[in-house]
Amino acid sequence: MSTQEQSATEPTGRHSLDVVVVGAGTAGCYAAAAIAQKGYDVVVLDRKTKDEAGHIACGDALKGADSFPDAIPKSQLEPAFTNIDVDHGRFEIPQEDTVLEIPVPGELAVIDRWKYGKLIIEGAREAGADFHYDTVVQNVIQADDGRVTGVEAIRTGSPQRYDAEIVIDAAGALSVLQDTIDFAGSTFDTNVTYSQFCSAYREIVHVEEPVEWSDALVFKPTERAAGYLWYFPRTETEINAGLGFQMTEEPMELVDDLKRDLRNRPEFEGAEVEDKLGAALPTRRPYDSAVHPGYMAIGDAAGHVNPTTGGGIAGAAYGATYAAEQAIEALETGTYGEATLWTYNERVMDHFGARYAALDVYNILSTAIDVDDLMSLLAAMPGDKLAEALYSGSTDIGLKLKAEALYKSRDHLDTIWTLYQTKRRADELLAHYENYPTHPAALDHWQERRDELMQAVYETTGADPKY
């Protein structure tokens, strides 16, 4: 291991490090901070300029804002928490002329995402990680036995080579690194297509008068299925307004559709748009395996996003620290194979991956169900139970509530039956993910049973297979 005092960078454009992290988002910064804190040489490469780094398309809503991994503690990020008064979701259902106020379990905040982005970079830098901006990674280097041993990039126009014991891919949704790696013979999940992602766009909008719902995250279904609009108040007068749709669907005109909704809301009259950004985000189950010899994918690059809410910051931060711990073990033992890195997969599934895989079942259902039907049914459901279902992937409704909901929604009995059956399928899947294998050799067998359970999901929901 080289020391922190020595520069890892050689003037020749060839760099030799313990760990190369690609991407200076939440996942990359947390992984880099955790590894650098142990004294290892880490460089974070990002294609953005130093000024633009941390400027990332986001709804700015942070669920689980009460806890962050120690590598960059919450106290360091708090200056970016612009609204900590949000405590519930406000679901607007125009078809039913209904607004549901739904409590959200756990701590919530709305943040200034760019400021937060700068603070996590600062946190990783203070921990000892180096940052190379304006550096576009184009290729991953592999040894003859398939192990990843570095990356090639263009840095401000000149070719660079970064050799490393471990490469961590934190390059976000549909990471280009994965297109260049030969994953033959490893467990790394390659069953990934754009249709398992959502295309999303947001504007930061300034309004003159404080909005009445500054303590709520506002959601509204888009006119077509499998999409929603959001209005998240950064402050009483600065709103993150956005929308997204599943890429299985006909593309939406994101900019125009948002403009139309904004125009119809009186609170946005005379509003000014301060910033615009769009991106893809994974709305799928986590990768079955995000490891390959010498390489791990984290954050969006491994599908670590709640597929029903699109929230990915918490998964990126926690998954990154689990990957960092395996990278450290690999460096300490000099073993870089899947067997050493595997614990990372297990910890992700144990913490949030199993839950996200179960929630994905409802996403699949949403592509097959009639949106009006679903909305009128939701309007009849008890709000706290809906919240539980949305975040835990499962809920139990008492007999009396069931009877009330059934009476109110008697016109939608088919949909209720489908929902009930879908919940059973999601519960079975959750139970299977809770038995995620403890060794790479057992993955095939586990996948076979999981695929059988997914077949039952498609049959129950009537949806086209997603994987």
Site string for ligand FAD, 76-115 (x = CB under 6 A): ----------------------------------------
Residue 140 binds ligand FAD (CB under 6 A): no
Q: Which helix (H) or strand (E) holds 177?
A: helix 177-180
Q: Which of 84, 99, 176, 368 binds ligand FAD (CB under 6 A)?
A: 176
Q: Which of 80, 239, 262, 279 binds ligand FAD (CB under 6 A)?
A: 279
Which residue, 72 or 170, has its beta carbon nearer to ligand FAD?
170
Residue 75 CB, shortest distance to ligand FAD, in Å, is: 19
Site string for ligand FAD, 307-336 (x = CB under 6 A): ---xxxx--x--------------------
On whether the CB atoms of residues 240 and 269 are closer than 8 A, the answer is no
Site string for ligand FAD, 32-71 (x = CB under 6 A): -------------xxxx-------xxxxxxx---------
Residue 200 binds ligand FAD (CB under 6 A): yes
Rg of the chain over Cα atoms, rounded to whole angstroms, equals: 22
Give the separation between CA 393 and CA 427, rounded to whole angstroms: 8
Number of chain positions touching ligand FAD (CB under 6 A): 39
Residue 382 CB, shortest distance to ligand FAD, in Å, is: 25
Q: Which of 34, 77, 100, 171 binds ligand FAD (CB under 6 A)?
A: 171
3-class DSSP assignment, residue 144: coil
Give the separation between CA 365 and CA 367, rounded to whole angstroms: 5
Closest CA to 126 of 36, 47, 195: 36
DSSP 368: T
The 238-246 sheet, strands edge to edge: 98-103, 88-93, 216-221, 227-233, 238-246, 197-206, 272-282
Non-local CB neighbours of 332 within 8 Å, separated by 6+ positions: none
Cα distances (Å, whole numbers) of residue 102 to 140, 217, 385? 46, 10, 9
Which residue, 24 or 453, has its beta carbon nearer to ligand FAD?
24
Which residue, 130 or 380, has its beta carbon nearer to ligand FAD?
130
| Residues from 14 through 33 that contact ligand FAD (CB under 6 A) | 22-28
DSSP 217: E
Which residue, 25 or 233, has its beta carbon nearer to ligand FAD?
25
Non-local CB neighbours of 193 within 8 Å, separated by 6+ positions: none
Interface with ligand FAD (CB under 6 A):
22-28, 45-48, 56-62, 135-137, 170-172, 176, 200, 202, 242, 279, 281, 299-301, 305, 310-313, 316
